[in-house]
A and B are shown apart, each in its own frame.
Chain A
Amino acid sequence: MTEKKTGLEQGRKIRVLVAKPGLDGHDRGAKVIARALRDAGMEVIYTGLRQTPEMIAEAALQEDVDVVGLSVLSGAHMALTPRVMELLRGNGQSHVKVFLGGIIPDEDLHRLKEMGVTGVYGPGANTEDIIRDIKTAVAI
């Protein structure tokens, strides 16, 4: 018998939700990431500005994504990120990897990792690194 193929080997695409929770109106970073992930062969569901954690979790469920990428520039990441993760878990999607980008102070990094955030990226982060980290994180 042949070895059981993993999902990705069967031609499955990595599906990523890119969302902007909270009230800041700057989505250029999120769009740059969406485009970079597209160019890396992923299917990116882009939901636009000013999403509530509830809207994000609902979209993640309906789209059956592997990864949720949050972009937060407002400083509210310590409130929004745990809420999104709690809702994902409540929906039975604890397998979904959460990545965070934006203006994130160093002193928050440790607590974010403890919450289970897979990767955190600030301004100037290399999209190649993000792509590599996503591929590593969702490999089954």
Chain B
Amino acid sequence: MTISQSILNGERLALARLLTQVENNTDEGRAALMELFPHTGRAHRIGVTGAPGTGKSSLVNQLALHYRKKEKKRIAIVAVDPSSPFTGGAVLGDRVRMRDLSGDPNVFIRSMASRGSLGGLAQSTANVTQIFDAAGFDIIIVETVGAGQSEVDIARLAHTTLVVEAPGLGDDIQAIKAGILEIADILVVNKADRPGVESAEKALKAMLELAHPTARVFKHHGTYMSVNMPAKKENAALWIPPIQRTVSTEGTGVPELAEAIGRHVDHLRLSGDWALRERARLEVELEALIREGLMNKFRGELAAEAYENVLESVLQRKRSPWEAAGALLNGDVK
């Protein structure tokens, strides 16, 4: 039996093994991704992001508990923590907050190291969610690295993005800056039993009032990728991110948060945004693969010597990088 069949049969060890293959981008992992792709497209991906220490892991724990109790859904959790830029090692500690989920065969938690990727996810996180999707998990919760102001890859991957804030982290100037708050479908003020919760919520509200909806154009690894969005239905209601208060250590506010997530899913389905987001995500993935393939093909056809010579001429300031790239692409090199 192939590994893909084992995954479709719900074998947990095979699933864990394949996730490692996909994470390491091996031939076996890629082959299984291709085989499993037709079985994907069913899961709801929820992204959870926010600054370190805002309580993301505890919130994911409570949210998963809620879904298990109230909706009997199968839950996969992908928790990303940073790799050391110096040694490549990592301490992945998100499971510490998720011990309530232990012993439930319908919950599968996988920790991932970011491995040098800067967008708050690892390079292979999207592929890992595809495997969980094919394996029949209804909800896939992706927790990012404790993110700052620009780790916005999660918005491209998730259908619903939660941005978790906590009291005392910043004023209304922080709230109107571009970046992480902009990607929120739902804003969560966690640790809502702490002082300062009113002013945190007020700052977020003020930001929402200033904001007006913009087209979703995703920045991917340094390049803007505008996505051709088919025209939206005229009567589609606008989604204004709600602000939900939670205390994730106790689970306060979590049922209400789950309700808000449910409303967002309804909105995505009704407005056609669900399909748009799927399209945007797959288009970016396709473009990235084409770019990688073209690059490999180009380098394969080009004599290594010619490349070195051109690089050397740039180093000596005989040619600008623009001229050099043009010459290489036109085959105009000695």
Interface of A toward B, CB cutoff 8 Å: 7, 10-13, 15, 34-35, 37-48, 51-52, 54-55, 58-59, 61-64, 91-93
Contact = CB atoms under 8 A, between A and B. Distances in A.
A105 to B, nearest CB: 29
Contact of A34 (B19, B91, B102, B111): B91
Contacts of B20: 12, 15, 64
Q: Which of B83, B93, B108 has the most CB of A within 10 A?
A: B93
Given A11-B24, A13-B89, A48-B96, 8 more contacts: A35-B91, A37-B89, A41-B88, A47-B96, A52-B102, A55-B103, A59-B95, A92-B13
A61 B90 contact: no
Contacts of B84: 38-39
A41 B85 CA distance: 10
Contacts of A37: 89
A21 B118 CA distance: 34
A44 B89 contact: yes
Contacts of B111: 43, 45, 63
B20 to A, nearest CB: 5
A62 B91 contact: no
Contacts of B12: 61-62
Of the listed residues A13, A59, A92, A93, the one surrounded by the most CB atoms of chain B closer than 10 A to its CB is: A13
Contact of B96 (A42, A46, A62, A91): A46
A91 B110 CA distance: 17
A46 B91 CA distance: 7
B88 A13 contact: yes
Interface of B: 12-13, 16-17, 19-20, 24, 26, 83-84, 87-93, 95-96, 99, 102-103, 108-111, 113, 115
Contacts of B88: 13, 41
Contact of B95 (A34, A41, A48, A61): A48
Given A40-B87, A63-B110, A48 B16 contact: no
A90 to B, nearest CB: 11
Nearest to A38: B89
Contacts of B17: 64
26 contacts: A10-B24, A10-B26, A12-B20, A13-B115, A35-B91, A39-B84, A40-B87, A41-B87, A44-B90, A44-B91, A45-B111, A46-B93, A47-B96, A47-B99, A48-B95, A48-B99, A52-B102, A54-B102, A59-B102, A61-B16, A62-B16, A62-B109, A63-B16, A63-B110, A63-B111, A64-B20
A61 B89 contact: no
B87 A62 contact: no
A54 B90 CA distance: 24
Contacts of A40: 87, 89
Contact of A47 (B24, B95, B108, B110): B95
Contacts of B93: 46, 48
A40 B91 CA distance: 11
A43 B24 contact: no
Contacts of A63: 16, 110-111
B89 A62 contact: no
A38 B95 contact: no
Nearest to A50: B99
A138 B246 CA distance: 43
A133 to B, nearest CB: 17
Contacts of A93: 13
A38 B90 contact: yes
Contacts of B102: 52, 54-55, 58-59
Contacts of A35: 91
A82 B109 CA distance: 25
A12 B95 CA distance: 22
A10 B17 CA distance: 16
A10 B21 CA distance: 11
Contact of B103 (A11, A39, A58): A58
A41 B89 contact: yes
